């Protein structure tokens, strides 16, 4: 099976406001897929539908080959979700946090699972301390380690770097690349163009309820021919492509006469 996620004609309204107006996209196995959109575009709504936390009004979505509406249990088995806000328990130590989740997931050797993840995320030395003593980057690593308990095939990261300082953000990017290198499909949302540009194999831009553009960074760049500014041909940045697609003027682009 090639596709990790397939979304067709997805619609969702909250009261009178239609947030998703027919969203279509696909995510291939093993790739890093970035759903890019401004604040309020509907990214979290899509994540909640795909992770079976919210029902769509119309359209279909399959995750790992299972329909989210009719086979939510199968979907939940294949995925993990790391939300916009960290889910780390403050009373437990790092190791205890991991063991707790492993037990909740009915894994056979919770302590071994915890130790392996601590090692993988460079948290062995900090394992017996409470997360309140961790740096921002360490908390983030613990958070992602928690979401990897049970080896999910598809991991959802909803704005994984929002609110992080630049250093922690770069560390996060490293982890995401590593996850993908290990064969996990990564679905992430972001409002940061640079993040999508750095990480994603495929990018879909969500704007006013629809996917208005999608493809690899190279494909998106082709949609938007480089502007000739006098003698110098300039490669557009993803930001310029984004602004051009949504119809806003970007400073410095298309300024040749």
Ligand X SMILES: Nc1ncnc2c1ncn2[C@@H]1O[C@H](COP(=O)(O)OP(=O)(O)O)[C@@H](O)[C@H]1O
Q: Interface residues with ligand X (CB under 6 A)?
A: 14, 19, 37, 39-45
Pick the closer one to Mg ion by CB: 44 or 184.
Answer: 44
Decide which of ligand X, Mg ion, none touches 40; Cβ closer than 5 to 8 Å per partner kind: ligand X
Largest CA distance in the chain: 68
- Which residues are paired to 25 by β-bridges? 7
Chain residue whose CB lies nearest Mg ion = 44
Pick the closer one to Mg ion by CB: 102 or 176.
Answer: 176
Coil vs helix vs strand at 47: helix
Pick the closer one to ligand X by CB: 33 or 121.
Answer: 33
Closest distance to Mg ion from the beta carbon of 176 (Å): 17
Pick the closer one to Mg ion by CB: 44 or 97.
Answer: 44
CB burial readout 179-208, b (16+ within 10 A) else e: bbeeebbbbbbbbbbebbbbbbebbbbbbe
Retrieve residue 148's tokens. 């990897």
Decide which of ligand X, Mg ion, none touches 198; Cβ closer than 5 to 8 Å per partner kind: none
List CB contacts of 106: < 8 A, sequence separation 6 or more.
none
Coil vs helix vs strand at 161: coil
Decide which of Mg ion, ligand X, none touches 14; Cβ closer than 5 to 8 Å per partner kind: ligand X
Closest distance to Mg ion from the beta carbon of 25 (Å): 17
Binding site for Mg ion (CB under 5 A): 43-44
* Residue 32 contacts residue 200 (beta carbons within 8 Å): yes
Decide which of Mg ion, ligand X, none touches 122; Cβ closer than 5 to 8 Å per partner kind: none
């Amino acid at each position: 099976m090639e596709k990790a996620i397939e979304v067709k004609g997805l619609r969702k309204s909250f009261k009178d406001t239609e947030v998703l107006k027919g969203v279509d996209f696909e995510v291939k196995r093993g790739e890093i897929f970035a759903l890019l959109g401004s604040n309020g575009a509907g990214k979290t709504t899509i994540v909640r539908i795909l992770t079976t936390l919210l029902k769509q009004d119309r359209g279909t979505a399959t995750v790992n080959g299972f329909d989210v509406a009719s086979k939510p249990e199968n979907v939940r088995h294949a995925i993990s979700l790391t939300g916009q806000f960290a889910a780390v328990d403050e009373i437990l130590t790092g190791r205890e946090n991991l063991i707790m989740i492993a037990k909740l997931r009915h894994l056979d050797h919770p302590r071994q699972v915890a130790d392996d993840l601590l090692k993988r995320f460079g948290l062995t030395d900090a394992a017996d301390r409470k997360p309140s003593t961790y740096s921002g980057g360490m908390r983030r690593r613990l958070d992602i380690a928690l979401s990897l308990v049970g080896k999910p095939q598809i991991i959802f990261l909803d704005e994984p770097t929002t609110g992080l300082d630049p250093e922690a953000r770069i560390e996060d990017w490293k982890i995401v690349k590593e996850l993908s290198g290990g064969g996990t499909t990564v679905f992430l949302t972001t409002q940061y163009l640079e993040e999508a540009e750095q990480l994603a194999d495929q990018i879909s831009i969500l704007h006013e309820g629809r996917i208005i553009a999608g493809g690899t960074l190279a494909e998106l760049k082709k949609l938007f021919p480089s502007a000739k500014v006098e003698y110098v041909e300039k490669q557009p940045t993803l930001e310029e492509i984004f602004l051009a697609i949504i119809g806003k003027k970007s400073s410095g682009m298309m300024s040749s006469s």
